[in-house]
Amino acid sequence: MRKLYIISFIFFPLFCFTQNDHYTIVDQYAKELESTIIDLRRSFHQFPELSNREFDTSKKIADIMTKMGFQVETGIAITGVVAVLDTGRPGPTVALRADIDGLPIIEDTGLPFASKAIGEYLGEEVGVMHACGHDAHIAMLIGAANIIKRMSSTLNGKIVFVFQPAEEGPPPGEEGGAALMIKEGLIEKYGIDVFFGQHIRSNYELGTIRYKVGGIMAAANKLTIKVKGEQTHGSRPWNGVDPIVVSSQIVMGLQTIVSRQMDITNEPVVISVGKINGGIRNNIIPEEVEMVGTIRTFDTLMLNDIKEKIRRTAINIAKSAGAEVEVLIEDGYPVTENDALLTRAMLPSLYASIGENNVIVSRASTGAEDFSFYAQKVPSLYYLLGAMPKGTSIFEASKHHSPGFYIDEAALIYGVKSLTNLAIDYLNSNPK
């Protein structure tokens, strides 16, 4: 029988504080809540749910936030939860975001709270795991909400706590995630002025935060290439057109776009083919092969150039072999852009949360994030929170989106403090 972690929050008396000493109060509250936040993270880790299917997860979040006294709205973007703290005093509106979905992965960590959940993805039964830290994101945002609630008598404006589903992408044929929340009017309805978000990282040192002005995470576009040949017997390939060989040549040709045709001293570029499907048995050359991949970029002009080069490369390689090709490039997540003025203004909040020497300028990550959609609408700051156990080599660190994904839970207190300090400092420093 799986252990169910029961979470309860203890409320402590409010302290009167000034702008000069609120970091001390936040630090004290965070330490008092640390074990509760860890238990909360484990309870979500044990029972993950896939994108747009986070029904139990969202109910648990809504129940917790309601009991803490927030105005709570559910069913946003299918399974999203939004909780609001309105101080009743004029001021800006700050949004803090956590993503809540898991991934179709069978967990292999051996942890006592490891997931044994089963879900359905693309018509197949799959294991489900929080293999990217979204369980930690939920717990840290709830912890920050708890502290902000206790300190609300000294704040101005509003705080919107956004628990967002489907960050990993909704199932094919469905809408979801940040894009759907925006489409349903999240920003206008609550009058959101700025967004803050964070992502825990298993391969960054514990006790560090990484940030970058401008593009911190890449744009992601889905690439589909269908190669149509002429089916024939595998023993007589000259009687047909082999789409498998053509597809292999296209895969290699795509890599020369990156290595020989793009100025990667400007911004990084990645083209990866992650799926190839074609053929039914060993002695039949099939009629068609489909390849599916991803394009990662940080610059719109470079992306437009890459799209044209991909089409040209695929078409010409196919034509040289007598095959036909269809290239489809779909819009995905845009670049996650940190607003320059906001990012620099909020650095003291991060310094206070984790120590100035532990706040590090990051290189851009070729990972992608749908937090980017919020950043297109309002000034935003998104940063990366280190959670690699001390003494672990970066080469030994667990990988995101893998069965062995593991984080040091000592990182959670830093995430709670940073979200809390960002919200409080922005509200107190930006009268509306």
Domain assignment present for residue 9? The answer is no
Q: Quote the CA–CA distance of 361 and 357 in Å, as a whole number.
A: 11
Q: For residues 197 and 108, what is the distance between their CA atoms, to the nearest angstrom?
A: 28
Handedness of CA 61, 67, 71, 75 (dihedral sign): positive
Q: Is residue 11 part of a domain?
A: no
Please identify, among 333, 354, 388, the residue that sits at the C-terminal boundary of a domain: 333
pLDDT at 432: 62
Through-space distance between the first and last CA atoms of the chain, rounded to whole angstroms: 52
**Cα-Cα-Cα-Cα dihedral of 422, 410, 153, 57, to 10°?**
90
Residue 153's SS3 state is: helix
Closest listed residue to residue 296, CA positions, set 247, 258, 325: 258
345/424 same-domain check: yes
Given this model, what pLDDT does residue 21 score? 83
Q: What is the pLDDT of residues 371-399, one digit of tens each?
A: 999 999 999 999 999 999 999 999 999 99
Cβ atoms of 428 and 156 closer than 8 Å:
yes
Query: Rounded to 5 degrees, what are φ and ψ at 382?
Result: -130, 130
Q: Which amino acid is at 25?
A: I
213 and 223 in one domain? no
As annotated, the active-site residues are 333, 409
Edge-to-edge order in the sheet of strand 359-361: 71-76, 80-86, 158-164, 93-99, 194-205, 380-388, 209-211, 359-361
Residues 311 and 340 in one domain: no
Average pLDDT for 265-280: 95
322 and 383 in one domain?
no
Place of tokens 């040949």: 229
| Whether residues 234 and 213 fall in one domain | no
Section 176-191 average pLDDT: 98
Q: Strands 93-99 and 194-205, how do they pair? A: parallel
On average, the pLDDT of the chain sits at 94
Range of the domain at 293: 219-333
Contacts of 327 (CB under 8 A, 6+ apart): 223, 224, 225, 310, 311, 314, 315
- The whole model's pTM is what? 0.91
Give me the mean pLDDT over the 315-333 stretch.
97
- Name the percent of the chain lying above pLDDT 90: 93
- Do residues 169 and 51 make contact, with C-beta atoms less than 8 angstroms apart? yes
Q: Is 307 contained in some domain?
A: yes
Supply 252's token pair: 């290699």
Together in a domain, 93 and 226: no
| pLDDT for 401 beyond 80 | yes
Q: State the average pLDDT over residues 53-78.
A: 98
* 367 and 328, same domain (yes or no): no
Residue 228, domain CATH: 3.30.70.360
Looking at the predicted structure, is the pLDDT value of residue 256 above 80? yes
Q: Could you tell me which of 261, 258, 248 has the C-alpha nearest to residue 323?
A: 248
Average pLDDT over residues 271-296: 97
- Would residue 2 count as lying in a domain? no
153 and 288 belong to one structural domain: no
Residues 131-144, mean pLDDT to the nearest whole number: 98
**93 within domain boundaries:** yes
In this predicted model, what pLDDT tens digit does every residue of 6-55 receive, in sequence order? 444 444 343 344 555 899 999 999 999 999 999 999 999 999 999 999 99
The CA distance from 220 to 41, in Å, is 29
- pLDDT band at residue 431, thresholds of 50, 70 and 90? confident
Q: What is the pLDDT of residue 20?
A: 53
Residue 382 · residue 369 · CB < 8 Å: yes
Mark whether 237 and 153 lie in a shared domain.
no
pLDDT of residue 324: 98
Residue 121 Cα to chain centre, angstroms: 19
Does 390 share its domain with 376? yes
Cα gap 101→401, rounded to integer Å: 12
Place of tokens 């991803």: 294
Supply the CATH number for residue 163's domain.
3.40.630.10
Contacts of 160 (CB under 8 A, 6+ apart): 82, 83, 84, 93, 94, 95, 96, 190, 192
Whole-number pLDDT of residue 10: 42
Assess if residue 134 is contained within a domain: yes
Domain count, the chain: 2
The last residue of a domain, from among 333, 359, 375: 333
Q: Pairing mode, if any, of strands 380-388 and 194-205?
A: parallel
